Every structure is written in structure tokens, then in C-alpha cells.
Amino acid sequence: MTVATTRDSRGVATVTVARPAKLNVLDAAAAEALIAAFAQLAADPVLRVVILRGDGERAMIGGADIDAMAGLTPATARGFITLIHRCCAALRTCPVPVIARCAGYTLGAGLEIAAAADLRIAATDAKFGMPETRIGIPSVVEAALLPGLIGWGRTRRLLLTGEIIDAARAEAWGLVEETVAPERLDAAVEALVDALLAAGPNALGIQKRLIRDWESLPPDQAVQRGIDAFVESWESPEPAAMMGAFLAARRARKGEGG
């Protein structure tokens, strides 16, 4: 099995890319398995959060499998890279937040997939890079998300040089949201999961879709889309229920203080 999925009673799923002997790199079979795992999760009505990780601590995803790519031709290259894009799209269209747990190497296609996640937490000894130009190909598909995370200049440096950067630089650049010591990585991911579980699930799903829309809309249209999203949220009983609970708790606190 190249991709394994587990779920807990909270609606939190963990998807593990499991090719540890090869730094969890993606060949066609592993990519298809990853897409299938996210498709199955997306249909789960009680799903709240997904954690994406690699098997072991040597890599989250070390890239696309060079052994597989070495045999590509102009006739087969499009299909292979489209498969990598579909992996990234599976994360972006997942109806709940996806957290990328970055341990060890996150390279090439792995970094494109991490960029497609909603949030990224890395161990302090993690490494990141887009080394495709060093093996004769450009960085493509969801590498297009990198300028929104780290800016155009840093994207150019990462893609054109193919250099590998450490976790401290990745955090400073905005490539990851948080870095922690390796032994604290799971605890940090769990703390982020807890924060997400405190949000209304309907609101969280709407917010994820809205953020994705904002990426491609001009400001005026983005604002209008936000107004539509606000109205959409009131089609659910969630706002009234959660605001009612908040106000009741506030009244209780004031009563205790009086």
C-alpha cells in the first residue's frame, strides 16, 4: 500500500504517503492512490480536518519518482504531470482544511503538494526545494502557488537555482507557517487541529472555498464574493447556534463577576 488513511472519532483523518525506502516519492501508482484517498475523504460528511504526512521522518514527499520520469516522452509527459496536478487539486478541493506535516525532505512535486495544502508545519531539520531544473525540467503545476506564499523574487530564486533551503529560511520566507523541534512536530500539528476543530465546520468549509476564490479574483469581485459567502453561512443553523452559545457564556461570566 503506497497511501494509507486513518480516521479518528473527531473527524480528523491522516493520509500517509508510504514509500519510505524512496523518500515517499510519487510514481503514477502512488499519485493515483493519493487522489483516491482524498476523493474518499471528501465524501465523508463528518470529516473535519486532514493531515498529510510521509511515512517516517526522512521525507514528507521527496518529489516525483525520477525512475518513472526518466522514461517519459512528449507523448506521455502530459499525462504524468497532469497526474501530479490532480494530486495537488485533490488537496485544494478537499472540503476541509488540509495540514501538511513536513518532516525531512519536501521537494519538487512534494513541495507543490505542500503548497496546495491550507497550512504547513515543519520540523526544524526539514528541507525544502524545487530542484527540477537540475534534472532538466521546469517546476510546473502548483509551483504556480508559490508566489502567493513567498513572493515572486523568492519563487524565482527557488525555481531557477534549484537550491534546497532549510526550515528556518522556509519559515522566514512564509513557505511554512510554523517550525518546531522534530520531537514536537506531532504536538504542534495536534494543537493546530484543535484550533480548527473549535471553528464551525460549515463556516470553515465556506472560508476555505472563499480563500481559494480570492486567489484568482480581482479585489472588487473578491469583496462581493465574500458578501455572498456571508449570506451563504446564514443558510445553516450554525451561526445562530454558535453565537447563541457565545452570548450565553458571556452572560454567565458577567453573572459570576457581579
Domain that holds residue 79: 3-197
Number of domain units in the chain: 2
168 and 212 co-located in one domain: no
107-111: average pLDDT: 98
107 and 41 co-located in one domain: yes
Where residue 59 sits, what CATH number does that domain have?
3.90.226.10
Give the Å distances, CA to CA, from 233 to 71, 89, 202, 238: 49, 24, 7, 8
79 and 157 co-located in one domain: yes
136-140: average pLDDT: 98
174 and 49 co-located in one domain: yes
44 and 152 co-located in one domain: yes
Whether 132 is a known active-site residue: answer: yes
184 and 235 co-located in one domain: no
166 and 82 co-located in one domain: yes
pTM here is 0.96
Of 132, 142, 163, 235, catalytic: 132
Percent of the chain with pLDDT over 90: 98
Percent of the chain with pLDDT over 70: 99
CA 64/CA 44 separation, integer angstroms? 28
Of 32, 57, 112, 256, catalytic: 112
pLDDT tens sequence across 28-83: 999 999 999 999 999 999 999 999 999 999 999 999 999 999 999 999 999 999 99
| End residue of a domain, out of 177, 197, 217 | 197
219 and 172 co-located in one domain: no
User: What pLDDT is recorded for position 257?
Assistant: 47
User: What pLDDT is recorded for position 256?
Assistant: 61
